[in-house]
Amino acid sequence: MTKNFSKILFFFLISLLITGCLPRLDYDNTKPEAIAPQWLVDGFDFPVGDRNGKGWGVTGYKFLDWSVTSNSFHPGEDWNIPGVGNADQGKPVYAIANGEVVFSGWNTALGNVILIKHALSNHEYVWSQYAHLDRRDVQKGEIVGRRQIIGTVGRGPNNRFTAHLHFEIRKEDLPENAWPRTNGVAWDSAMVKKFWLHPSNFIKQNRPR
């Protein structure tokens, strides 16, 4: 009886192995919350021109210039092709890195806006914002890749400005219409730097390997 039972048990275990019904032995101790998002960045490129921004420049307000338009420190950079007026309207705007679109819409101050969240690691993030767009080609919730076209250069609400890209990199999760002032009073430059990064410097320091 014992011999027959051993044979039956042996054949039963063999059949389980063949069919894959044995319990899975999982030696991966990685916790789900420690897995980095699929859109983890692999480096940053410039938002217009080629991946190095060639042919374009910050010809409008630079980071932390005093803006007479908004009566505050400028939290980003204004990019266009030098000397062409509005001829760069409609030129492509690219995602600077892999990320998730967290806003794609319109507001009265900035016009068409896209805001993208980028994972530097599974717990470190930055946000890039692209404003005054003529066209938006991505929607909230989309995963985008570095150098993917997300929209085109525009002139802001009601064609208020000469064509350019208003571009920001933020180190805090801010709403798309965030601007460095409270109740009309401008923040000082030190306060601005707590929430915004110098866009070109950050990209230069974090190019793809």
Query: Where are the domains positioned within the chain?
Result: 2-28, 57-205
What average pLDDT is seen over the chain?
Answer: 87
Q: Residue 72 and residue 171: Cα distance in Å, rounded?
A: 19
Rounded to an integer, what is the distance from CA 130 to the centroid of its chain?
10
What pLDDT is recorded for position 151?
98
Contact between 92 and 71 under an 8 Å Cβ cutoff? The reply is no
Residue 17 is classified by DSSP as: H
Q: In the chain, how long is the greatest CA-to-CA distance?
A: 96
- DSSP code for 2: H
- Please report the sign of the dihedral spanned by the C-alpha atoms of residue 70, residue 206, residue 153, residue 110: negative
pLDDT category of residue 30 using cuts at 50, 70 and 90: very low
Grade residue 209 by pLDDT with cuts at 50, 70 and 90: confident
Task: Write down the pLDDT at residue 39.
Answer: 81
Dist. CA 43–CA 9, nearest whole Å = 56
What's the pLDDT tens digit per position in 100-130? 999 999 999 999 999 999 999 989 999 999 9
Instruction: Give the CATH number of domain 57-205.
Output: 2.70.70.10
pTM (2 d.p.): 0.83
